[in-house]
Structure 1
Amino acid sequence: MAVAQRLSVSIQSDINLSTAMDSTHFLSLLGEMPNKSELNLKVIEEVDCGAFVRQKISYSSEAGETISAFLCIPKNVSASLPAIYCFHQHAANWSLGKSEVVGLAGSPDQVYAKELSERGYITLAPDAICFEERADAIDPVQYHAHQLHSRLMRGQTLLGKVLFDISAGIDLLQSLLQVDVTRIGFIGHSYGGRTALFAPAFDRRIKVSVSNCGSTKFKTMLAQDIGIQFDYVVPGFLAWGDIEDIVRLVEPSHLLMLGTDADKWSQDIDDIYEYAKSAFVTGELERQIYPGKHSFSEEMRERAYKFLDRHLNKPALPAR
């Protein structure tokens, strides 16, 4: 099945440029952004997965860089479909990224790109920078650190790059004829769950986002000596605010925060919710905490999928 692309697509990031101080400061903290290139989409491989076709693709976000991803497209669908950007976890395993969320490797509780395509969504699952095909095979930790440090020296941030790459992925989704460009969602667990809080505040084309096990404040991480992931080291961030301030910026999009009661990466869900809920007027902010450790159980995933269904007006699955 060929990838059908629209003839033209903006290569500029659709970022929230509100004059509100919070939004302006958030963007300034991310540092200088790269310049987007043409997408240069290529289909490398295509596999029939029953309810959907899984394509291995490559595309560009900036000149000289290639992003590898899986694009899953449901079969036997005539109308344009909602699409979801699926961001993988970290788990201190740089050899895994996109392959885990489509079910080719890793944990069976991480297969949300596969399950959402079976549910009738187009899903895009790229490798984040420094993971899987974008990792260094010899010393992935040192390479990840270098990607942070080199950007800081240039007045950039690695978080800015991560969000920039997400914006390029949204460009790609909106270029596909099969995608309803007004119905774009985002989902992630752990690293992906934290990113699910930031992505819709950065790119307003994301209408709904689900964060699983990613709602611990930076101040809590520092106080408990948990550590802060390279991708979230942003100079001056805490002088301005914390993750709950970013969550307030998600409005008018919809956000669901999920977590577990024995997970160090979920421990501030209630505090973040109480702080941010007054900002949500058009969008909906919801949260739910489940018993257990750091996981994305079947029950939690079903809760996530129903939230996406509701806010993306997903049509019924075609008869097979």
Structure 2
Amino acid sequence: MTAKRLPFALAFCFLLNLLLASFNAPLNAQERPVSDPPVIESSWDDLLEGVTDKESWLAHKQVLKQRYLDLIRDQYKPEKPLLDLQVHEETIVEDTYIRRLISYQVEEDERAHAYLGIPLKRDGKLPAIVALHGTYKQGARRAAGLEENSNKAWLDHLCRLGYVVIAPEHFVSGHRIPPEGPYDTTRFHQKHPEWTSVGKFTYEHSIAIDVITAMEEVDADNIGVIGHSLGGHGTMFLAAYDDRVKAAAGNCSASFFRHNSGVTHWSRDHWYIYFKHLRPGFLEGELPNIDFHEILALIAPRAYLDVSAMNDGNPLTQRQRVLMLMKVMDVYELEEKPENFAFFVHGRAHSVAHESRQLLYGWMDSHLKPAAATATKLVEE
């Protein structure tokens, strides 16, 4: 080859290689590894163990419901008395709603107090919400916006949004603080040695539903429950217990039994004791035969929103909460109502921040009010 033809030959080879590379490109792209998502497996998968379809799930759900009732020892609750509803105070709040302090019987020798809010502006019956407070000695007053943290003033906020609201006092707070102090359950366990505190407060919250569903202002088909902390897991326990709850939203609820290094807090030997009968098993490393994912699944297909913080307690436990909630979503898929379950995880610790409240109240609006209440519309030209 002459010197004159050499640059031409080199250029030809270069162009030929580019052409071949372009032909090979699709093949090379196909040979690259794909990024299919792996299946996420966790200990929470036992929720659907042996379940093959909706029918087998519904059968298993009945087993779980009985386990739940056994956990709270529902068989030891007293016979439900007549309500004997009494009104002790009444005031109109900013020409927006009537707030009443009421009481009613929960046992033959025991009355519960609650604040009741009724919007003044109403056209027909209104949806109603049971608002559960956290571990605060005057929790119902806080829920009414009369004390301490106004972020947790459920009754005030929700009445302004058009709901009838009942905010019952927890049974060892407010008017029933025992001599030993707020939230000390010693005397309760002396009176009911076989029952549980969770059974007691769940039963009483169910009676609060009796109170509001009997009201002429209330649409008994649209009942919700909302709560923070102690009231947060009280929300879950009540929604799983009482099918009249159409929509529920729990904020910063407690940790579950498994993957929880503080599990014995559920069965302390002093102060507030949730499940006294579980303590011997806990001390031996045994857990109950039901956990939160199974209790939450009892609520399906009714609406439930879980709001929690990754930095509320042990972060490793809270990461397990996300896995747990993913498995509960599988149940809602089985029950063909995935739109009725949601969870939001944030980093604001044990709080009810603005964005959390917006989600909680929006969830209630979406599930308890007519579709027109949350519908959007185009701008008119």
> Considering the TM-score relative to the shorter chain, is it more than 0.5?
yes
Identity rate, percent: 26
Is 1:107 matched with 2:149?
yes
Cα RMSD over matched residues? 2.4
Q: How does 1:233-244 map to 2 (within 5 A)?
A: 233=275, 235=277, 238-244=287-293
> Unaligned stretches of 5+ in structure 2?
1-58, 282-286, 375-381
Structure of higher CA gyration radius: 2
Task: Supply the distance in 2 between the matched residues of 1:256 and 1:19 (Cα, whole angstroms).
Answer: 20
Distance 1:220 1:178, change over 3 A: same
Deviation by residue 1:87-126 (Cα, 9 ceiling, x = unmatched): 0001xx4x22200111101212111221000000000001
Task: Supply the distance in 2 between the matched residues of 1:282 and 1:128 (Cα, whole angstroms).
Answer: 35
- Aligned-partner SS, 1:86: strand
* Alignment correspondent of 2:126: 81
**Deviation for aligned residue 1:160:** 1.1
* Greater RCO (CA < 8 Å, at least 6 residues apart): 1
Q: How does 1:41-80 map to 2 (within 5 A)?
A: 41-50=85-94, 51-80=96-125
Is 1:204 matched with 2:260?
no
Task: Supply the distance in 2 between the matched residues of 1:37 and 1:131 (Cα, whole angstroms).
Answer: 21
Distance 1:112 1:142, change over 3 A: closer
Shift >4 Å, 4+ stretches:
314-317
Is 1:228 matched with 2:266?
yes
Distance 1:19 1:276, change over 3 A: closer
**Deviation for aligned residue 1:143:** 4.0
The one-letter code sitting in structure 2 at the alignment partner of 1:40 is D
* Alignment correspondent of 1:160: 199
- Aligned-partner SS, 2:158: helix
* Alignment correspondent of 1:245: 294
TM-score by length of 2: 0.72
Is 1:135 matched with 2:177?
yes
Task: Supply the distance in 2 between the matched residues of 1:301 and 1:88 (Cα, whole angstroms).
Answer: 14
> Unaligned stretches of 5+ in structure 1?
1-16
- Aligned-partner SS, 2:249: strand
Q: Pick from 100, 119, 144: which aligns with 2:185?
A: 144
* Alignment correspondent of 1:178: 217
Q: Please tell me whether the aligned partners of residues 365 and 373 of structure 2 are also in contact (alpha carbons under 8 angstroms).
A: no
Distance 1:78 1:142, change over 3 A: closer
Further displaced range: 204-213 or 31-40: 31-40
Q: Please tell me whether the aligned partners of residues 134 and 229 of structure 2 are also in contact (alpha carbons under 8 angstroms).
A: yes
Q: Please tell me whether the aligned partners of residues 256 and 263 of structure 2 are also in contact (alpha carbons under 8 angstroms).
A: no
Task: Supply the distance in 2 between the matched residues of 1:113 and 1:106 (Cα, whole angstroms).
Answer: 14
Q: Please tell me whether the aligned partners of residues 46 and 56 of structure 1 are also in contact (alpha carbons under 8 angstroms).
A: yes
In terms of fraction of residues, the more helix-rich structure is 2
Is 1:289 matched with 2:345?
yes
Task: Supply the distance in 2 between the matched residues of 1:183 and 1:83 (Cα, whole angstroms).
Answer: 7
The one-letter code sitting in structure 2 at the alignment partner of 1:296 is V
* Alignment correspondent of 1:304: 360
Deviation by residue 1:233-282 (Cα, 9 ceiling, x = unmatched): 16359331211110111112110000122112882431221221122125
Q: How does 1:15-26 map to 2 (within 5 A)?
A: 20-26=62-68
- Aligned-partner SS, 1:27: helix
* Alignment correspondent of 1:33: 77
TM-score by length of 1: 0.85
The one-letter code sitting in structure 1 at the alignment partner of 2:93 is C
**Deviation for aligned residue 1:226:** 7.4
Distance 1:29 1:217, change over 3 A: closer
Task: Supply the distance in 2 between the matched residues of 1:129 and 1:169 (Cα, whole angstroms).
Answer: 12
Q: Please tell me whether the aligned partners of residues 61 and 298 of structure 2 are also in contact (alpha carbons under 8 angstroms).
A: no
The one-letter code sitting in structure 2 at the alignment partner of 1:272 is M
Distance 1:270 1:27, change over 3 A: same
Distance 1:145 1:171, change over 3 A: same
* Alignment correspondent of 2:325: 273
* Alignment correspondent of 1:258: 307
Is 1:121 matched with 2:166?
no
**Deviation for aligned residue 1:70:** 0.4
Q: Please tell me whether the aligned partners of residues 253 and 282 of structure 1 are also in contact (alpha carbons under 8 angstroms).
A: no
